[in-house]
A and B are shown apart, each in its own frame.
Chain A
């Protein structure tokens, strides 16, 4: 009883925090866009601008309420947002919510694949390095991780693209689906084929961080008094790792993994750009370059929710897994 009440309070606080966070992000990004050099009228009309006279321009501005005080403009926008209207994208001429949901479906496949791959491989490499600390294996893994950690995602993407698509020809060069094929004719395996290279790029870059964190955490655990005592009881090697190492690095590793959603999103922006993969990241770049204000604001809010959700899941899992938080002190 007591426990479920505690969890309810915890969740309520989190929701409250998310609401304040989103409100602040809305306000700040609105102000930033408002003060950016993007002229909303020009951005809306685009190339037809030459046919629009200064008087017409003023009329459009007046019609949109651009001459009103900034707080009033903000309240219009925020009001529409609260009623579920995120506006219409100027580049795609579609509702922002629709674009985000379609793009997100592409991106989530990519990010999930990269997230799982880098999590598992990074965890395994880090664990091996820590267990074999000081040996050649440890040194190679560390060298590899530091190299990866200092590798820019776009550069790795270009490299992978050159080797596997251009030279070896194993994978398509870009896009999310084959070009010139009707949507209903695209097979699942074709989608997977287009997914592999960007996912691999993203996970290669992610591995370094995960492995180095895991290594450091496990080294701390191996230096602890309970591991020393386990050694005194004759435990060593894999049994020691399984009984005490894994158990004690699992919680921080999971927390870290869920907290990495922001890096994942940032990485996806770059990787999708290199591979022309039609995901959220690419849409973000497009919206930024072409001054598509509604889409850009929508993406900012969406990514904030996405990163927040990652942290929230991490926190909840932590509470569920760690007995020190799960079980009451007696």
Chain B
């Protein structure tokens, strides 16, 4: 059963440009993704594809001028703003992207302890620090005294001690050495295996491949394909969406083939399929409407030509 479901989510921002002209920019459009119990769902895509905003939308911490439509369900029930306030930090925890997410004037031990929602906070913090190879004296330190890698491990600790069932990890590994990356990923895997779930937001496809069960490919604020991790192999023959294939082939070990053009800006989205202007398979039909996500064998895809 899906613990967390996002259905047709759209996020847009109202801005004023030149005087009083109002511009609405769609940062996320009709996005659907869900994560099952015991599963790691990886979300990969270029920066600016709306990955971090998805996390903020789920947790209900989007900026005030954001307009959200569509549905988010947690445990089968709609995640309304009051439920979001009650659940985030308790049932759904975030591992943020930036090491600046630690309060610069609070000792890191205390920051981890305040994330503990039930039980003995001090014991939980000591245990998680031990698990992440953080010395006992680290709890008395301030963020500026930590190395980037230590700060990341502290951030992961805050999520681990919270007792949440879903962790949204937003780029949890940059700045870590190889061993620590492997370890952090292992912990996320263990976390998911204990009947919880992880939404892993990353642009590091290789790491995602190592631990994820399914991978959702993001492009310009929406999902273009959700496929089981097994499909990401060889020359990308088993991937369906042209963008997924292109992304796969752009990896150094898969030929390093770039595709021309760049992701459209949220203010200036093409009508119809968002990838059509850069797509080799595009036809007149592609420009008519944004294709719906449709099921295809063991995954789903947003392309009318995929078979």
Give me the interface of A with B, judged by CB distance under 8 Å: 134, 224-226, 228-236, 243-244, 247-248, 251, 322-324, 327, 329-330
Contacts and interface: CB of A to CB of B under 8 A. Distances in A.
Contact of B105 (A134, A248, A330): A248
Interface stretch (B8-16, B89-97, B193-201): B89-97
A189 to B, nearest CB: 42
Given A236-B85, A330-B145, 9 more contacts: A224-B100, A226-B100, A226-B101, A233-B114, A243-B114, A244-B106, A251-B105, A323-B105, A329-B144
Looking at B88, B103, B144, the one whose CB has the most chain A CB atoms below 10 A away is B103
B115 interface: yes
Contacts of B61: 228, 231-232
Contacts of A322: 105
Nearest to A232: B94
A240 to B, nearest CB: 11
Contact of A225 (B59, B100, B114, B141): B100
A220 to B, nearest CB: 13
The 10 closest A-B pairs by CB, nearest first: A234-B89, A229-B101, A233-B89, A232-B94, A225-B100, A231-B61, A226-B103, A323-B142, A247-B105, A225-B101
Contacts of A224: 100
B142 A327 contact: yes
Given A226-B102, A226-B104, A228-B61, A233 B144 contact: no
B158 interface: yes
B144 A324 contact: yes
Chain A CB count within 10 A is highest, among B87, B88, B100, B101, for: B101
30 contacts: A134-B64, A225-B96, A226-B100, A226-B103, A228-B96, A229-B94, A230-B103, A231-B59, A232-B89, A232-B93, A233-B88, A233-B89, A233-B158, A233-B162, A234-B89, A234-B90, A235-B114, A236-B85, A243-B103, A243-B106, A243-B114, A244-B103, A247-B103, A247-B106, A248-B103, A248-B105, A324-B142, A327-B145, A329-B144, A330-B141
Interface in B47-73: 56, 59, 61, 64
B105 A229 contact: no
Interface residues of B, number: 30
A101 B87 CA distance: 62
Q: Specify which of A230, A251, A329 lies most central, judged by the most chain B CB atoms within 10 Å of its CB.
A: A230
B104 A248 contact: yes
Contacts of A248: 103-105
A234 B101 contact: no
Interface string B111-129: 0001101000000000000
B84 to A, nearest CB: 9
Nearest to B103: A226
Interface of B: 56, 59, 61, 64, 85-90, 93-94, 96, 98, 100-106, 114-115, 117, 141-142, 144-145, 158, 162
Contacts of A329: 144-145
Nearest to A234: B89
Contacts of B56: 228, 232
A223 B30 CA distance: 28
Contacts of A324: 104-105, 142, 144
A281 to B, nearest CB: 38
Contacts of B88: 231-234
A325 to B, nearest CB: 10
Nearest to A246: B105
A232 B85 contact: no
Nearest to B142: A323
Contacts of B162: 233
Contacts of B115: 233
Contacts of A243: 103, 106, 114
A226 B151 CA distance: 13
Nearest to B155: A229
Nearest to B138: A330
A324 B103 CA distance: 12
Nearest to B168: A232
B106 A233 contact: no
A248 B143 CA distance: 14
A244 B56 CA distance: 19
Contacts of B114: 233, 235, 243
A232 B61 CA distance: 7
A161 B144 CA distance: 52
A144 to B, nearest CB: 24
Nearest to B92: A232
Contacts of A247: 103, 105-106
Contacts of B145: 327, 329-330
B95 to A, nearest CB: 9
A232 B96 contact: yes
Contacts of B85: 234, 236
A251 to B, nearest CB: 8
